[in-house]
Structure formats: C-alpha cells, structure tokens
C-alpha cells in the first residue's frame, strides 16, 4: 500500500475486474482515454488483467479513499529503469468523487513513489486538449506543458490535439504544496488504521 494524504494506492485484484469493466465501458470515461472506444467484454477485461500481472514495465494501482472506497485507478507505464522514466495514466471512475482533490492527491502520491522509491527522473503523460480538468490536475501536481501533438486523435467526430506534459524529479521535490517534512509520515498515520485496508 502506498499512503497519500486523502487516498491510498493498493495493488489491483482479480475481484476488481467488474468495477474496471463498469468504468471503461462508460462512454463518458472512454471519451478521455487514449484507447479505441469499443465496448469491452468481461473476458477481454480479464485478459487485460492477466497481461498486467506479467508486465514488468507497467504497474497499476487501485485508488481508495480514507474510507476504503475504490474510486479509480492510477498507473505507471513504459517504466524504463535505465533512462529513469515512465508515463502516467489515471482514471477516477466514480464520477461523484471527481473535482474533490482525490485525483491530485493520487497523482502526487504516485509521483512521490516514482521519484523517491523507484528513483525515476522523469514522468510524462499525454492528455486531450479538451480535458481541461485533467490538465488542471496535472498542472497542480507540477507537470509542465512540453508540446502539442496537433490533430493527433479522432474523438467526438473531430480531430483532437493531444498535450504532452512532463515533470522532473527536481521540479516535484521543489513543490511547495508537497513539503518534504510532511511527505509520507503524517499520511501513514492517517491511513494505516483505517478499516477495509487491503495489502497488495
Ligand atoms: C482527470 C481526473 C483524474 C482529475 O481528478 P479529480 O479528482 O477530478 O481532480 P481534482 O479535484 O484533484 O482537480 C481538478 C481541478 O480541475 C479543475 N477543473 C474542473 N473542471 C474544469 C474545467 N472544465 N476547466 C478547468 N478546470 C477545471 C477543478 O476546479 C480542480 O482545480 P482546483 O483545485 O484548482 O479548483 C479525473 O477527473 C478523471 O479521472 N476524469 C476522467 C478520466 C480522465 O480524464 N483521465 C485522465 C486522462 S489523461
């Protein structure tokens, strides 16, 4: 388990598959994700889960609130230990939990893990230009705009730009909203006693 301030990140479990399926088949969620928006079957989602178990370059975590509610997933992908880099993906699948700061805390928690435990140097991501909430969330976490892939994808009947964003370890460590003295310790106290906590 990786403790954050308002969330904790735990390993995904086979029993989570029905929840994943509900989220990825929601057209409103699909709109924001990079994948082709075909409806997915349980068998396909199971296959995806099995693939994750054997993929050393990708680590996906369930995002849980303080009360143990599973509200979304977050992951590091294309992890490259030689160059010290990875890409980040996130989805708060439970809509009523959006816009409450959970996404920002989950991203900060995973960045802290990536830089301080995995010793990565850089984390990057791609986001559709129309996804203003996600862009704001990433900016709050210290991601910088690094470029635009113009008319990269087709969504909602038209070509969409994709924004490339990235953050370096030194930029994250200079983040005043995540001061070194508070990192981890208070968070561990806050979440470790909570009921419903599941070890990976
Ligand atoms: C993107 C996502 C991870 C963000 O998580 P979240 O918990 O909703 O975000 P937070 O509450 O931490 O932060 C959202 C910020 O965006 C702002 N925001 C919301 N809608 C906005 C809009 N239309 N334009 C600009 N800013 C907006 C919020 O006000 C908040 O900023 P503030 O704290 O300065 O007020 C989550 O909404 C989500 O999973 N969405 C669907 C899937 C998705 O888009 N995944 C990312 C693909 S790249």
In the numeric block, which tokens belong to residue 124? 């990057």
Q: How confident is the model at residue 191 (pLDDT cuts 50, 70, 90)?
A: very low
Q: What is the percent of the chain where pLDDT is above 90?
A: 81
Q: How confident is the model at residue 56 (pLDDT cuts 50, 70, 90)?
A: very high
Is it the case that residue 187 has pLDDT exceeding 50? no
Is it the case that residue 114 has pLDDT exceeding 80? yes
Residues contacting 176, CB < 8 A, separation 6+: none
Q: How confident is the model at residue 34 (pLDDT cuts 50, 70, 90)?
A: confident
Ligand 1: lining residues by beta carbon, under 6 Å: 29, 32, 72, 90-92, 98-104, 127, 131-134, 136-137
Q: How confident is the model at residue 177 (pLDDT cuts 50, 70, 90)?
A: low
| Mean pLDDT score across all residues of the chain | 89
d(CA 142, CA 75): 17
pLDDT recorded at residue 87: 98
Is it the case that residue 144 has pLDDT exceeding 80? yes
In 3D space, the residue among 159, 171, 95, 167 whose CA is nearest the CA of residue 133 turns out to be 95
Is it the case that residue 197 has pLDDT exceeding 60? no
The β-bridge partners of 155 are: 158
- For ligand 1, the distance from its centroid to the CA atom of residue 122, given in whole angstroms, is 22
* Model-wide pTM > 0.85: yes
pLDDT recorded at residue 186: 35
Architecture of domain 2-181: 3-Layer(aba) Sandwich (3.40)
Q: Is the dihedral of CA 102, 97, 191, 119 positive or negative?
A: negative
Is it the case that residue 124 has pLDDT exceeding 50? yes
Residue nearest to ligand 1 atom 33, measured at CA: 101
- pLDDT tens column, 64-111: 999 999 999 999 999 999 999 999 999 999 999 999 999 999 999 999
| Average pLDDT over every residue of 128-156 | 97
pLDDT recorded at residue 60: 97
| Average pLDDT over every residue of 51-74 | 96
Cβ–Cβ under 8 Å, residues 110 and 88: yes
Residue nearest to ligand 1 atom 17, measured at CA: 133
- For ligand 1, the distance from its centroid to the CA atom of residue 133, given in whole angstroms, is 3
| Average pLDDT over every residue of 34-63 | 94
Is it the case that residue 116 has pLDDT exceeding 80? yes
At residue 22's C-alpha, the angle toward residues 16 and 25, to 5°, is 130
């Amino acid at each position: 388990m990786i403790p954050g301030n308002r969330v904790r990140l735990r390993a995904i479990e086979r029993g989570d598959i029905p929840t994943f399926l509900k989220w990825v088949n929601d057209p409103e969620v699909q709109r924001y994700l990079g994948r082709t928006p075909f409806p997915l079957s349980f068998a396909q989602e199971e296959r995806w889960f099995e693939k994750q178990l054997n993929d050393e370059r990708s680590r996906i975590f369930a995002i849980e609130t303080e009360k143990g509610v599973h509200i979304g997933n977050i992951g590091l992908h294309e992890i490259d230990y030689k160059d010290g880099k990875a890409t980040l993906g996130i989805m708060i699948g439970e809509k009523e939990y959006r816009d409450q700061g959970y996404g920002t805390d989950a991203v900060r928690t995973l960045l802290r893990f990536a830089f301080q435990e995995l010793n990565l140097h850089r984390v990057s991501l791609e986001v559709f230009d129309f996804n203003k909430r996600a862009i704001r969330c990433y900016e709050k976490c210290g991601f910088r705009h690094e470029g635009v892939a113009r008319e990269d994808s087709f969504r909602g009947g038209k070509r969409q730009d994709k924004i490339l964003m990235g953050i370096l370890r030194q930029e994250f460590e200079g983040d005043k909203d995540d001061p070194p003295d508070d990192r981890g310790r208070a968070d561990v106290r806050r979440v470790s006693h909570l009921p419903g906590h599941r070890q990976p």
